[in-house]
Amino acid sequence: MTDRAIIVGASSGIGEALARELADAGYEVGLAARRTERLKAIGASLPTKAYVATMDVTDTDDARRGFRELTDAMGDVSLVVLSAGVGHVNHDLEWEPERETIDVNVRGFTALATAAIEYFESRPSADGHLVGLSSVAALFGNGGAPAYNASKAFVSTYLEGLRHRQASRETEVTITTVEPGFVDTAMAMGDDDELFWMASPETAAAQIARAIRRERDHVYVTRRWRLVAWLLKAMPEPVVRRLVS
């Protein structure tokens, strides 16, 4: 049987690299984001069948409708990856970047996560696998990007909530939280030279694909970020503030 996956946020960065990784492993992929031409070009370069859906996740009703149309077109989908996200350095606390971050990373994310769970629970097999891209940024408040870190804390906690909800149900939906450190994409904040442990999108995608195969609840990408996460959780807030602000 052919495996089929939808990736929301597949037009660049980690989502694009994961689409390539999954297609190489035999998946047919549904590629969703706003930049249709990029999605079509990526789809055309894959070794398996690709489907393209243009969607802006901030238009939540339209995005949820687009998601349903995509599952209808693909026939059956066992894996949904939510990679769409934005991040802004915003020391001046301007409203527009904060608003966009909440719209994409919180409202858009939740609109698609609920659509994916609804879809999996409606499958005859009542199963599936939802993967959400959070960040190590979820672990601390950031004076330079307050909405971004807070939005990723929402994503991580929301996915944890879905796992708890799943535990008391008869359906078999796997939920994986991905928390990357720095990945070399358009989104990485700061100068490349400043950022340590920067991974390529391909390395990130390979580690995410492995976590998917192993049906992990949670994965740091790259794995060494587990150490940073441990330190961030252990350190008192004033120490974290001196390190990250």
Residues found near ligand NAP in the complex (CB under 6 A): 9-15, 33-35, 55-58, 83-87, 104, 108, 133, 135, 180, 182-183, 185-188
Residue 244 C-beta: closest distance to ligand NAP, Å? 14
Tracing tokens 């990373």 back to the chain, one arrives at: 105
Residue 41 vs 126, nearer CB to ligand NAP:
41
CA dist list (Å): 150 to 41, 147, 185, 195, 207: 33, 5, 21, 21, 25
Residue 124 C-beta: closest distance to ligand NAP, Å? 29
Residue 98 C-beta: closest distance to ligand NAP, Å? 15
Residue 25 vs 198, nearer CB to ligand NAP:
198
Which residues, at least 6 apart from 177, have a Cβ–Cβ distance to it below 8 Å?
132, 134, 155, 156, 159, 160, 217, 218, 219
Residue 22 C-beta: closest distance to ligand NAP, Å? 15
Residue 77 C-beta: closest distance to ligand NAP, Å? 18
Segment holding 179, helix H or strand E:
strand 172-180
Cβ contact 219:178 at 8 Å:
yes
SS3 call for 81: strand
CA dist list (Å): 109 to 6, 25, 60, 154: 14, 26, 9, 10
Distance between CA 223 and CA 75 in Å, rounded?
A: 35
Residue 188 vs 209, nearer CB to ligand NAP:
188
Distance between CA 99 and CA 70 in Å, rounded?
A: 28
Residue 32 vs 74, nearer CB to ligand NAP:
32
Residue 33 vs 102, nearer CB to ligand NAP:
33
27 conformational bin, left if phi > 0, alpha if psi -120 to 50, beta if neither = beta
Residue 7 vs 74, nearer CB to ligand NAP:
7
Distance between CA 46 and CA 20 in Å, rounded?
A: 7
- Name the residue with the smallest CB distance to ligand NAP: 13
Residue 2 vs 200, nearer CB to ligand NAP:
200
Residue 15 C-beta: closest distance to ligand NAP, Å? 5
Residue 235 C-beta: closest distance to ligand NAP, Å? 20
Tell me the residue length of the chain: 245
